[in-house]
Amino acid sequence: MPLSSMAIGIDIGGTNLRAARISGTGEILDRVSEKSAPDPELVLSRIAEMVRRLDSPEVAAIGIGVPGRVDARRRAVLSGGYVNLASVSLAQRLESTAGKPVVIDNDCNMALIAEMAVGAARGHENIAMFTIGTGIGGAVAQDRRIVRGNGTAGQLGHIAVDISGEACVCGRRGCVETTSSGTALGRHIARAGLGPDVSVDQLFARDAGGDTLARGILEAWAKPLRAAIDTAVAMFDPDLVLLGGGLGLAAHRALARAPALAPWYQCPVEPAQLGDDAGVIGAGLQALAAQATVTQASPASLPSAPLNPGRRTVAGRRAVPGRRAVLVNGIPASGKSTVSRGIAERMGWPLLTLDTIKNPFLEALGGGDREFNRTLGRASYQAIWSVVGEAPAGTIFVIDAWFGFQPRQVLEDHLQRAGVEQTAEIWCHAPGEVLAERYRARLDQRPAGHPGAAYIPELIELAKRAEPLRRGPLFDVDTTKPIAFDAITQWLQAMIVADT
């Protein structure tokens, strides 16, 4: 894995403190956890110890998801709920202890960032998310950017559902956090006369067996949450509402007892996919993205090439940057040509494709058999990396190819010889039947020498086993859906320099 392509993500909860070392693609590489505490100094001490256990030379930055109101721009905790860290300079003190840059944000914002990157919100543009745990967190994304307002927008857990209800830690009454959080579920259970050891799964089992007491508890828990969701949908008009956190899946199941009633304000409500891992993944990815932004914003970077910043040395001087490559990967007919052209047009980066180099030779030579086509493909692949190696240092290329047609080591050797120090991968895919239809439709447009209709069964089988390289940051593109070029370019702006 390239140097400095990792971050430590930390999720501060009312019950547990979680931390993990995160790769640039959102993979959890190692993890630790501790019990949470109401004492902010004790929480800070435990976080510092978890960072010490996870730290390594490859870790570039640290991200922390904090419950309550957080001004991410100023790195300030303004207030907390069950864990209130407003009295400690969290980011500054941990930065001093760990010696790594620290970013902080609301814990639900971090979770939504993870779900957009590698979870249930991939491919969606406008999302509202509730995280159901000890309390209820909230986050909103518009055009895949977190909505912040003056600094702390998105506190969906404090939507009022009963103005005469329970007192909330925010100072008001009847917030949905007081009725539909994990803590509130415990109160509903106690008020019904059941013991504290009754779990939500047991409630569902009792409800299925006709237990009206259990049904009443679930309805009391779910109906205020439904009202809060309907309010959020009316306010933000998202294309998806996610329910995350430790009780997100259970809350989604309980909503069956509280169907939506407002026909004007309809939106799919789905459980998040990443569970308790969302917070640490999002925090790690946000830390890497922040480091990339800092690098881009440096005054020493060239005005004509904002994504070609110099590499900072220990003394603060700048070294000459290496070349970079966006690997647009996918099997034939996967849509990678459309994606690569779209990226090149929007980013202004040179595009190199196998077919651009190979097809003129096929036309001039009058085609050939399949073995000749393969030989020419390997030569064209070598030509691409020869061109990259001759380019000025700092150039970013878009490379369109099916990188699985040769052994992985061939690519690594080409990258090394071409002086490519960083890659990001765009993985294009579609079901085999869709690829077959696309390939069949283009048979008469391809020069002689390309495989014909007899290749289609092989293509369908290839689609079942083809995998991305997973070399560096990875962006997944299902080309049966409209291609979200804005999301791709924003991701590239954040990730293509995350390893520098």
Per-residue model confidence (pLDDT) at position 450: 62
pLDDT mean across residues, the chain = 86
Per-residue model confidence (pLDDT) at position 306: 30
CB atoms within 10 A of CB 192: 14
Q: Chain centroid to CA 493: how far? A: 14
Percent of the chain with pLDDT over 70: 89
- Nearest-angstrom CA–CA distance, 148 and 303: 29
Per-residue model confidence (pLDDT) at position 304: 28
Pairing of strands 16-23, 145-146: unpaired
Q: For the residues 304-322, what does the mean pLDDT come to?
A: 36
Question: Could you tell me the fold of the domain covering 304-495?
Answer: Rossmann fold (3.40.50)
Q: For the residues 412-416, what does the mean pLDDT come to?
A: 90
Could you tell me which CATH number the domain at 6-110 has? Answer: 3.30.420.40
Per-residue model confidence (pLDDT) at position 378: 85
DSSP state of 264: T
pLDDT interval class at 293 (50, 70, 90): low
Question: In the chain, count of helices (H) and strands (E)?
Answer: 16, 19
| Per-domain boundaries in the chain | 6-110, 120-272, 304-495
Task: Place domain 120-272 in its CATH homologous superfamily.
Answer: ATPase, nucleotide binding domain (3.30.420.40)
pLDDT interval class at 257 (50, 70, 90): confident
The answer to whether residue 297 scores a pLDDT higher than 90 is no
> In the chain, helix, strand, coil percent, each to 5?
45, 20, 35
CB 372 within 8 A of CB 448: no
Q: For 237-369, where are the alpha helices, taking DSSP H only? A: 248-254, 278-296, 336-347, 354-365
Identify residue 112 by its one-letter amino acid code: L
Per-residue model confidence (pLDDT) at position 221: 97
The answer to whether residue 273 scores a pLDDT higher than 50 is yes
The residue that leads in pLDDT, 301 or 155, is 155
17-18-24-27 Cα dihedral, nearest 10 degrees: -160
Per-residue model confidence (pLDDT) at position 498: 40
CB 427 within 8 A of CB 475: yes
The residue that leads in pLDDT, 409 or 189, is 189
The answer to whether residue 461 scores a pLDDT higher than 70 is yes
pLDDT interval class at 472 (50, 70, 90): confident
Q: What is the pLDDT of residues 21-41, one digit of tens each?
A: 999 889 999 999 999 988 889
Weakest-pLDDT range from 138-152, 293-307, 462-476: 293-307
- Nearest-angstrom CA–CA distance, 214 and 194: 9
Going through 24-135 in order, the beta strands assigned E by DSSP cover 28-35, 59-66, 69-71, 76-79, 102-106, 127-132
- Nearest-angstrom CA–CA distance, 64 and 469: 29
Weakest-pLDDT range from 52-61, 110-119, 297-306, 443-452: 297-306
Per-residue model confidence (pLDDT) at position 23: 93
The answer to whether residue 299 scores a pLDDT higher than 90 is no
- Nearest-angstrom CA–CA distance, 428 and 335: 6
pLDDT interval class at 369 (50, 70, 90): low
- Nearest-angstrom CA–CA distance, 458 and 476: 23
Q: For the residues 404-420, what does the mean pLDDT come to?
A: 88
Per-residue model confidence (pLDDT) at position 373: 67
Q: Which helix (H) or strand (E) holds 21?
A: strand 16-23
The answer to whether residue 308 scores a pLDDT higher than 50 is no
Is residue 109 classed as helix, strand or coil in its secondary structure?
A: helix
Per-residue model confidence (pLDDT) at position 490: 83
Q: Chain centroid to CA 272: how far? A: 12
Pairing of strands 16-23, 28-35: antiparallel
The answer to whether residue 477 scores a pLDDT higher than 70 is yes
Question: Do 304-495 and 120-272 fall under one CATH topology?
Answer: no
CB 104 within 8 A of CB 91: yes
- Range 42-49, long-range pairs (CB < 8 A, 24+ positions): 43/12, 43/17, 43/83, 43/85, 44/85, 44/88, 44/90, 44/93, 44/94, 46/17, 47/10, 47/12, 47/17, 47/19, 47/94, 48/94, 48/97, 48/98
Phi and psi at residue 325, to the nearest 5°: -140, 135
- Nearest-angstrom CA–CA distance, 88 and 168: 23
Reference 242, options 382, 129, 322, 365; nearest CA is 129
Reference 90, options 140, 36, 40, 152; nearest CA is 40
- Nearest-angstrom CA–CA distance, 140 and 154: 6
Q: What is the pLDDT of residues 224-250, one digit of tens each?
A: 999 999 999 999 999 999 999 989 999
Q: What is the pLDDT of residues 165-193, one digit of tens each?
A: 999 988 899 999 999 999 999 999 999 99
The residue that leads in pLDDT, 376 or 50, is 50
Per-residue model confidence (pLDDT) at position 295: 45
CB 228 within 8 A of CB 221: no
Q: For the residues 326-330, what does the mean pLDDT come to?
A: 95
Per-residue model confidence (pLDDT) at position 321: 52
Weakest-pLDDT range from 121-125, 261-265, 287-291: 261-265
The residue that leads in pLDDT, 417 or 301, is 417
